[in-house]
Amino acid sequence: MYEQVKYFYPVSAWLPRNATVVNQKAFDALDKPLQDAVLKAAAAAEERGWATSERVDKEFIKELSAKGMTVAEPSDSIKKELASIGESMTADWVKSAGADGQAIIDAYRKK
């Protein structure tokens, strides 16, 4: 990318991440101490995952700069336009996902 493009504006539109999904019935079937252990391990994995994601993102940006790209903060107008696009995409997804999708977005926005 740095061979063809001279400017990079980090907008945090994508950070590497993974997710683990569990079956609610299977989780509910575990006894309380085991549920607590699973949740504790999940919290630790989430913390490690975000830290790793942020570290790798910084390393990639540093490498782009070292290879000659100008790395600069995006303008307020770019940030505003990206936020608008994100809201439109979210609204489109909620239309197709229905009430369950809206509940997910509401919970996300509370966090």
CA 36 – CA 110 distance, rounded (Å): 23
Q: Considering the entire predicted model, what is its pTM?
A: 0.66
Predicted confidence pLDDT, tens digits, the chain (111 residues): 788 999 999 998 877 677 888 999 999 999 999 999 999 999 999 999 989 988 999 999 999 999 999 999 999 999 999 999 999 999 999 999 999 999 999 999 998
Continuous H helices in 1-111: 24-29, 32-66, 76-110
Rg (CA), the chain: 19
How is residue 94 written in tokens? 């909620």
C-alpha 28, offset from chain centre: 27
DSSP assigned state of 24: H
